[in-house]
Amino acid sequence: MDIAILIVEALKFIFPAYCANAVPVISGGGRPMDFGKNFFDGKPVFGKNKTFRGFFFGLAVGIAVGLVEWVVFGYPFLFSVFSPLGALSGDLAAAFLKRRLGIAPGGSLPVVDQVDFVIGAVLFSLPLAIIYWELAVAVIVITPPIHLLTNFLAYRLKLKENPW
């Protein structure tokens, strides 16, 4: 397969997840998803940056983008839900891991921060049988530079406290 076509396919595939992952930056705040509670190890479950408002706004926007892709590109209807839900779940899993490692909310865990939501979106999309290994690899390869650039822009626009 032509590399340019693969990159376009990867961007189309992952776009609902990208949107779901980005929206909490501008819509977040409010009650933390862990209710401010600690895990049995005494550390926060997810931390103050993972909020219900950010999660559900991200999910709503991701679903909306997925529905557009369902209409325009013919992706399965359930992809509209699975991809953004997987992205947000992957992000929560990484937050859980980062708290276990003693990394504060907003702190950096290189590589994990760039691919957590992508891995979640890919895993949640597997039951739909629409992803193949080359597409998964392409998504994982193109995402870190895109993620770093968009986070830096969000930081410069004062939407984020950290550039990562």
Which of the four pLDDT bands, split at 50, 70 and 90, describes residue 98? very high
87-93 mean pLDDT:
98
Among residues 28, 39, 11, the alpha carbon closest in space to that of 106 is found at: 28
Whole-number percent of the chain with pLDDT over 70: 99
Among residues 101, 161, 136, 99, the alpha carbon closest in space to that of 17 is found at: 136
Secondary structure E strands in 93-144:
none
Q: What is the pLDDT of residue 163?
A: 79
